[in-house]
Chain A
Amino acid sequence: MTAIEITGLHKVYGTGSTRVHALRGVDMTVQKGEYVAIVGASGSGKSTLLNILGCLDAPSEGSYRLDGIEVSTFTESELSLLRNRKIGFVFQSFNLIPRTTALSNVELPLVYAGMARKHRRERARAALDLVGIGHRADHTPTQLSGGEQQRVAIARALVTAPTLVLADEPTGNLDSRNSADVLAVFDRLNTAGRTIVMITHEADVAAHAHRTVRVHDGRIVAGVLA
C-alpha cells in the first residue's frame, strides 16, 4: 500500500531574474507504515518538498498522489479539507494556540472536521493519553515544558487518524532529554502502524527512521527506494 507517490515534481518560485528552481524533478514513494527521514542542507529544497507533501503548497509540475488521490490540481479549499483529513503536522516551534488548554488544542482539527463536541473530547483525551500527557490536559501551553508542548502537538497531529504524520524538525527546539522522549513517541507511533515523514538535519534523529532520503539542489540523491 502506497501512502505517497511523487513523480517528476518541479517547483519554481518567482519569474525572470528572481526565478528560483527549488525542486528539479523529484520522484519518491513512501509505503504505508514507513518511517522516513528527509535530510539535506538548508536551501536544498527539503522545506519546499515538505510544504508540497503537507499540501500547504502546490507543485509547478509533476504528480503527487496522497493515499491514491491525485492532489496536484486541487484548489485551496480542497487542499484545506485534505490537510484536515489526511495529514497531521508537527512543527519545530510546537505552534500550539496560545491561552488554550492542551485538550482544546488537540480538539481543534476535529472542530474543523465538524465533529460533535462530546465525541471530540473523547478522541482528544485518547490522543493525549497515547503520547503520555493525559494528566496535563487542562494546562495551557505556557504552563507546559517544551517537551510537553511538543507531545501535545503530536497528539493534535494524531487525533484525526491521518494517513501521514509530517514532522518538521520536531526536536529542533528541545534539549536532549526531551528530544529522546519525543523521538520515543514517534517510534511507538510507527510501531503502531502510523506513516511518518520527518525533516531533520541531525543524523542521530534520522537514525530512528527506517530510511533516509537526502535532498541536494532540488533533487533526491540517496534513499529513493525502500
Chain B
Amino acid sequence: MIETFRFALRGLAANKLRSGLTTLGIMIGVGAVIVLVAVGTGASAAVANSISALGTNLLTVSAQGGRDAGKPLTVADARALVDPLGAPDVATATPVVTSGNVSVTQSDTTASVRQFIGAEPAYLEATNSTIASGSSFTSTDLAEARKVVVLGATTASNLFSTQDAVGGQVLVNGLPFTVVGVLEAKGGTGFGDPDDMAVAPLSTVQNMLTGYGGLSQILVTARSADVMAQAQAEITTILSNRHGIANPARADFRVSNPTQVLAARSEATETFTVLLAAVAAISLLVGGIGITNIMLVTVTERIREIGVRKALGAPSGAILGQFLTEATLLGLLGGGLGVAAGLAASGLQISGITPVVSWPSVALAFGVSALVGLVFGGYPAHRAARLRPIEALRHD
C-alpha cells in the first residue's frame, strides 16, 4: 500500500508541469463550484433578508394611472380602509406620498436621496423600521406640518458621515428641516439600497414637495400573515365602491403584496443558483476529462516501465493501483487547492452580492474531485493493467 503510494508520487513528480496543469483544471472546477454556489446562496440570503425586513403582513395599494384617468387615492380612502365591519382583517392603513431623487443638503454636503417619503407616524411600524437614534416624528408634527425628518441609515451617513445627525439641520429643496431620528440599517438586497431614504410628515411633504394631488400609495397591514388574501379582497371591495368601479379589470388602483413579489424573486435566485452550480459542475467535468487525457498519455509513455514491472512479477492489481492512485492524487490535490481558492474568493464581494459559503457544497466539491480522479483515471489505469508484458517490453 505504502509502496503503491510512493510509486504514484514518484510518477507525478516525474512530470511536474503536466501534473500541475492537470491539478489546475480540477482546482478551477472545484473553486468555481464553491464560489458560484456561494454567490447564489448569498443572493438568496439577501432576498430572504429583505422579505423579513419588509414584514410579512404588508399590502400596498397604489394608483394605477388609468386610460380614463380614474380617481386618485386620497387620505380619505386610507381612512375608509380601517373599518372593523367592512374590513375586519385590515389592521392599519397609512397614506404615503413618495418623491424620488430629492436633493438634500447639509452645510457643504449634498446628497440625492433615492426616496423622500411623506407618511404618518404609523409608517415606520408598518414597514418594520426601527429608530436607531433620536425619535420618530409625532402626530403633532403631522397635524402642524412641521419640517422634521427621519433619515435612513445610508442617507444619514452620506450627509453627516460619522457625526450625530439627530438635531442637525438639512435643506430639502432649499427649505430647512430638522432631523429628529435616524433609522436602523436594513441591509442591501443588491437591488437598490433601502436605507437611502428619508421620512417626513405627510402634510409637510405634500406642502413642500409633492402638492396635494393623489397619494403614491396606501400601506395596509393585515391582522396576520394568514389573512392576507381576505384583507386584499376587502380592500378591493371598499375602494371599488368608493371609486365607483364596476369592472374589476378597469380598476384605477392596484393592491399588491410585496412579500409575494419577493418570494417570486427568491425563486428566481434559486434557479440562478442551480444554473451557476451547473456551470461549475461542467468545469469540474472538463477537469476530469483532463485527468483522463493526461493519464492516457502517462500510461502510453510508460508502457515499457509497465512491462518491466510485470516481468518482475507485478500483479495486474498493483499496476491498476499505482495509476489509480496517481489519478486520485491529482484529483485530491486539485480539490484541496480549489477549496482554498474558492474560500478565498468567497470572501470578496461579487457584483454587489456578498457570497455565503455553503459548507455542504465545499464538502461535495472536494469529495467529487477525489471521485473524479478515481473515475476518470479508471480507464487509463485499466488499460495499463491489461497490457501484456511481452508487448509492453517490446514497445519503444
Contact = CB atoms under 8 A, between A and B. Distances in A.
B313 A109 contact: yes
A143 interface: no
Contacts of B309: 97, 108, 112
Contacts of A112: 309, 312-315, 318
Given A84-B313, A99-B14, A109-B313, 13 more contacts: A76-B316, A77-B316, A80-B314, A81-B313, A83-B313, A84-B312, A89-B311, A91-B308, A95-B307, A99-B10, A112-B313, A112-B315, A113-B313
Nearest to A153: B308
23 contacts: A51-B390, A56-B311, A56-B390, A57-B390, A76-B316, A80-B310, A80-B313, A80-B315, A81-B313, A83-B311, A83-B313, A84-B312, A84-B313, A89-B311, A89-B312, A95-B393, A97-B305, A98-B14, A99-B10, A108-B309, A109-B313, A111-B3, A112-B314
A156 interface: yes
Interface string A75-116: 011001111110001010001011110000000110111000
B308 A95 contact: yes
Contacts of A98: 14, 305
B380 interface: no
A110 to B, nearest CB: 10
A112 to B, nearest CB: 5
Contacts of B10: 99-100
Interface in B236-258: none
A156 B311 contact: no
User: Which size class do A's interface residues fall under?
Assistant: 20 to 34
B389 interface: yes
A99 B314 CA distance: 19
Contact of B389 (A56, A77, A85): A56
Contacts of A80: 310, 313-316
A147 interface: no
A91 B394 CA distance: 11
A170 interface: no
Interface string B1-20: 00100000010011000000
Interface centre among A77, A100, A111, A156 (most CB of B within 10 A): A111
Contacts of B316: 76-77, 80
B304 interface: yes
Nearest to B307: A95
A98 B393 CA distance: 15
Interface string A107-131: 0110111000000000000000000
A76 B317 CA distance: 12
A165 B184 CA distance: 88
Interface of A: 51, 54, 56-57, 76-77, 80-85, 89, 91, 95, 97-100, 108-109, 111-113, 156
Contacts of A57: 390
Nearest to B308: A95
Nearest to B396: A93
Contacts of A95: 304, 307-308, 393
Interface string B373-396: 000000000000000011001000
Complex A-B, nearest 10 residue pairs according to Cβ-Cβ distance, in ascending order: A84-B313, A95-B308, A83-B313, A109-B312, A56-B390, A112-B313, A112-B314, A111-B3, A56-B389, A89-B311
Nearest to B315: A80
Contact of B312 (A99, A100, A108): A108
A109 B13 CA distance: 22
A81 B309 CA distance: 12
Interface string B274-309: 000000000000000000000000000000110111
A89 B10 CA distance: 24
A54 B311 contact: yes
Contacts of B314: 80, 84, 112
A91 B313 contact: no
A56 B313 contact: no
Contacts of B313: 80-85, 109, 112-113
A105 to B, nearest CB: 9
A35 to B, nearest CB: 21
Contacts of B389: 56
A81 B304 CA distance: 19
A113 B315 CA distance: 10
A156 B307 CA distance: 15
A99 B316 CA distance: 22
Contacts of A89: 311-312
Interface centre among A82, A100, A156 (most CB of B within 10 A): A100
Nearest to B311: A89
Interface centre among A80, A81, A99, A156 (most CB of B within 10 A): A80
Interface centre among A97, A98, A99, A109 (most CB of B within 10 A): A97
Contacts of B308: 91, 95, 97
A78 B310 CA distance: 12
A51 B307 CA distance: 13
A106 B86 CA distance: 98
Contact of A91 (B310, B315, B393): B393
